[in-house]
Structure 1
Amino acid sequence: MSAYTDEDWYSDLVKEYAPPAFQTFPTEEQIAYWRGRVPEMLMRWWIEEGWGSLNSGKYWVCDPGQLRPVIEEIFADDPDYHPDDLIPFGYNALGVINVAMGQGRSMKIDLGFGIVTWRGPQAEYPQSEFVGVYYSGIATGAHRLEAKDENGVEIFPWALEHLGPLEPYQIYGFVPAYSVTGNYPVKNLQKLSVVERLVTLAALSRPTLYDYVRPEGAQGGFGTLVPLRKVGPQP
């Protein structure tokens, strides 16, 4: 059997999740701005399927420009990462953002728990940034959201039942924030604006950058997540 191509992966994504709910499409100006900065297969998704909600709101493919204020707040004055080089292309119902960095590199930003996870190019997809970063982020985010609260209650099903479906650029978030109380029971969940909420969390407490470190000689797997430093200006 021949190896999957980008076209095959794209077709799988369309078959499984298209069309998104709350579907909107980029303008010609937005297409012109992002063309060449994102893979053509992602641009094709934007043009053909648009931005919107996948799998009952578990994941949202979004306009990167909408989340720009969040990226600017997180990475202001960071010596290694500049907001202009970071493309937030989607987020899940709890506000965890997928960010592309180019050359197969990516980040996952979870401000609710103060974690930024850095990943280099995935060895299994050396020829395709679309598959290794964008398809992987979108398909995984839309398929699986297994986060539980401090009592073991699955967060997304509870929130969907008790708070109702999300509207565009809304997320479910804990009020007060986990970073303030150290607690996160589902009864504290509310619907919140994704931009306002995440900007507030980023300003409240700078997240910690983590990287995957694989023990010397180890084969397979991503390795162990190791904290590197706080994000933002350094001493």
Structure 2
Amino acid sequence: MATKSNAEIIRDGLWSNNPALVQVLGLCPLLAVTSTVVNAIGLGLATLLVLMGSNLAVSLIRNFVSDSVRLPAFVMIIASFVTCAELLMQAFTYELYQILGIFIPLIVTNCAILGRADAFASKNPPLPALLDGAMMGLGFLAVLVILGGFRELVGQGTLFTDMDLLLGPMAADWGFRPLANYPDVLFMILPPGAFIGLGLLIAIKNGIDNRLKARRAQAPKEPASTGSKRVRVTGQVS
């Protein structure tokens, strides 16, 4: 398997093979907890930590684990990093941890994490595996934050409320309400609203990809350079 370049790994994680918009993995937490930006950031950072740690660990042991116990070993590694993320949230962001509830332990079952461990980290050196975990985690985090911001704004008419749950007292005043007397749209706060928001994001991404593809197809192609041919003229002497 040819190792991808760093640019390809970054592009895949953030756009071309985004775990939420392209692979459509990890939908359970993505749809359930993205009612606000702070919830989305909390879950996204925990997933990013687990992705980076598990990818690095799997890459380091890839030559020492037999195929018969490969997947159980990967799950144990992922569960260990999820436990670390859970303990960190309990220690530093306990109220946010309580809000996210069962969806933090459920990171263990996130198909995106196990999929990257098996498809990429187990076949590549540590540094590319770490970069892949970071980019996939950032891509997933970006979708969570955009979806959380969209649902919070449309559903409650606010943005960045309760950021102090994650960042402490300095973020207590970050929340604001762009429109006064905004009527809450309960539908967007509930899980069905998450399906609508995610569908719009996937449609926007596909539209951008199609437009870029059409633009590349319409771009004039440079003519292939042809080397000058040497013509030998032979004269006839009568």
TM-score normalised over the length of structure 1: 0.25
Highest RCO, 1 vs 2 (Cα 8 Å, sep ≥ 6): 2
TM-score normalised over the length of structure 2: 0.25
Please state which structure has a larger fraction of its residues in strand: 1
Which has the larger Rg? 2
Please state which structure has a larger fraction of its residues in helix: 2
